[in-house]
Amino acid sequence: MLNQRLVRENPNLIARELSRRGMRLDLKGLQVIAQKQKDLEKRRNLLQAEGNLIGKKVGQSIKQGLDPTSKEINSLRQEGNLIKQKVNELDIEEKKAAEILRNKLLSLPNLPSPKCPNGQNETENKEIRQWGDPPIGKHFKNHWEIAESLNLFESERSARIAQSRFVTLLGNGARLERALINFMLDLHSKKGYKEILPPVLVNTKSLTSSGQLPKFAEESFRCADDDLWLTPTAEVPVTSMHRNEIIPSEQLPLKYVAYSPCFRREAGTYGKDTRGLIRLHQFNKVELYWFAHPEKSEEAHDQITTDAESVLRELELPYRVIELCTGDLGFSASRTFDLEVWLPGAGVYREISSCSNCDEFQARRSSIRTKEDKKTRVLHTLNGSGLAVGRTMAALLENGQQPDGSVVLPKALVPYFGAKQIELNQ
């Protein structure tokens, strides 16, 4: 959420920055409402002070022995009633204004960082760096062909269990997924991340706090009888873990690594990535998350990205780092680096991690602050996949495929998987 003071004092700045995202907004109306709310609040406060004074007078008079039914007391009571009535009227108006303001503010995205390059859409993203030698050739198979021949997962029967876009991992497939989750959690834990296994059902407040609601309700699965949703990412429960807290600055940064299954409707992607492990309604993800000091979030952003990259390096998977342009930036992000892994079967780089600096945006929605020298201020939050597990498996299959149909696994994974390769007919 954007700072309300900014709405009142510099709406043009907001409009200008959001235009970099391709939004054309006139914030004059919003500014008027914000100002109105503040004015009403001021008037109400003054009236309340008057009312408090009368209340005090009545109390003192009675204490001094004045008859509670006397003229003086009764006239004070009348005065008090009058004030109360006025306060109520102001209060109703003020709440209306505050509600409108809040709803509008909650559906405005974050301002892009000054460092975020301008652009209309994903075609204008900037490549930052590349790592590894991407194997190229027509003979490489897609990961679902490999998985099928190795009998790693079952898609058609999964539709029987749930729907399309669900997958059931089998045998070595299930084992590999589990190995990857453990490997990633261990790798990040060793770097000082605290491991979290969060609830995957989250309430409306939590989804609002990290920015998925109110705008993207159609992207999440909702429980019919409860105020609970299936989380689209561990970012949601981890953000809300510290909702309404003040974290002393000497404790920052708080670094968490959270494994969770993630649930997304993937509305509007019919026909896209219908086969394999790339786009599912349920997938596993290991998420990195930082609560950082507001002045140190840029370094934190570099570090969280590097930490996410380390998984790909350990797994010897070629990748590149892309900086998203303003037009491709997510709702809560001010700046984002995507990691894209090379898929030789598909012959493309595919997003496998998104590392975002959300600066104050989520923290303000969640009221997460830090305290330093008696001053409280909103802190910064960052998140990055470390990594999407299903897509990592796809990349391992495509990059590790051998002419004989087996798949060779990277050394780092062997202790976790228990074998150097996945053979045919196992």
Partner RNA sequence: GGAGAGGUGGCCGAGUGGUUUAAGGCGCAGCACUGGAAAUGCUGUAUAGGGGCAACUCUAUCGAGGGUUCGAAUCCCUCCCUCUCCGCCA
Interface residue with RNA among 16, 28, 42, 194 (CB under 7 A) is 42
**Alpha carbon distance 275, 272 (integer Å):** 9
**Alpha carbon distance 231, 222 (integer Å):** 9
Q: Compute the C-alpha angle 319/314/390, nearest 5°.
A: 65
Phi, psi of 288 (to 5 degrees): -100, 140
Considering the candidates 43, 175, 243, 279, report the single residue annotated as catalytic: 279
Q: Least distance from C-beta 90 to RNA, angstroms?
A: 11
Q: Does 68 contact RNA by CB under 7 A? A: yes
Q: Does 5 contact RNA by CB under 7 A? A: yes
From the centroid of its chain, how far is CA 230? 14
Other beta carbons within 10 angstroms of residue 139's beta carbon come to: 9
Rank residues 208 and 326 by Cβ distance to RNA and give the closer one: 208
Rank residues 92 and 128 by Cβ distance to RNA and give the closer one: 92
Tokens standing for residue 314:
């350990």
Q: Residue 39: which residues within 8 A CB-CB, separation 6 or more?
A: none
Rank residues 19 and 45 by Cβ distance to RNA and give the closer one: 45
Closest alpha carbon to 206 in 242, 153, 174, 170: 242
Tokens standing for residue 10:
């510099």
Rank residues 127 and 245 by Cβ distance to RNA and give the closer one: 245
Q: Least distance from C-beta 177 to RNA, angstroms?
A: 22
Q: Does 84 contact RNA by CB under 7 A? A: yes
Residue 93 bears catalytic tag: no
Q: Does 46 contact RNA by CB under 7 A? A: yes
Considering the candidates 209, 332, 353, 354, report the single residue annotated as catalytic: 354
Closest alpha carbon to 97 in 44, 30, 47: 30
Rank residues 285 and 364 by Cβ distance to RNA and give the closer one: 364
Residue 157 bears catalytic tag: no
Q: Does 77 contact RNA by CB under 7 A? A: yes
Q: Does 59 contact RNA by CB under 7 A? A: yes
Residue 279 bears catalytic tag: yes
Q: Does 376 contact RNA by CB under 7 A? A: yes
Asked if 221 and 229 touch (Cβ cutoff 8 Å), the reply is yes
What does DSSP assign to residue 222? B
Q: Least distance from C-beta 219 to RNA, angstroms?
A: 25
Q: Least distance from C-beta 49 to RNA, angstroms?
A: 4
Phi, psi of 402 (to 5 degrees): -115, 160
CA dist 139 → 21, 43, 151, 214, 421 (Å): 40, 75, 20, 46, 20
Q: Does 374 contact RNA by CB under 7 A? A: yes
Interface residue with RNA among 371, 372, 412, 421 (CB under 7 A) is 371
Interface residue with RNA among 41, 93, 186, 298 (CB under 7 A) is 41
Considering the candidates 8, 21, 365, 391, report the single residue annotated as catalytic: 391
Q: Least distance from C-beta 61 to RNA, angstroms?
A: 9
Q: Does 81 contact RNA by CB under 7 A? A: yes
Q: Least distance from C-beta 58 to RNA, angstroms?
A: 3
3-state helix, strand, coil in the chain (%, to 5): 45, 20, 35
Phi, psi of 420 (to 5 degrees): -80, -25
Q: Does 51 contact RNA by CB under 7 A? A: yes
Reduced 3-state DSSP string for 76-137: HHHHHHHHHHHHHHHHHHHHHHHHHHHHHHHCCCCCCCCCCCCCCCHHHCEEEEEECCCCCC
419, exposed or middle or buried, with CB in 10 Å at 0-12, 13-18, 19+? Answer: middle
Interface residue with RNA among 10, 35, 48, 168 (CB under 7 A) is 48
Which region, judged by CB under 7 A, interacts with RNA, from 36-44, 113-121, 162-170, 194-202? Answer: 36-44
Closest alpha carbon to 322 in 119, 140, 136: 119
Which region, judged by CB under 7 A, interacts with RNA, from 35-43, 190-198, 278-286, 295-303? Answer: 35-43
Rank residues 80 and 134 by Cβ distance to RNA and give the closer one: 80
Q: Does 246 contact RNA by CB under 7 A? A: yes
Q: Which residues have a catalytic role annotated?
A: 264, 279, 351, 354, 391
Q: Binding residues for RNA, per CB under 7 A?
A: 5, 38, 41-42, 44-46, 48-49, 51-56, 58-60, 62-63, 68, 76-77, 80-81, 84, 246, 369, 371, 374, 376
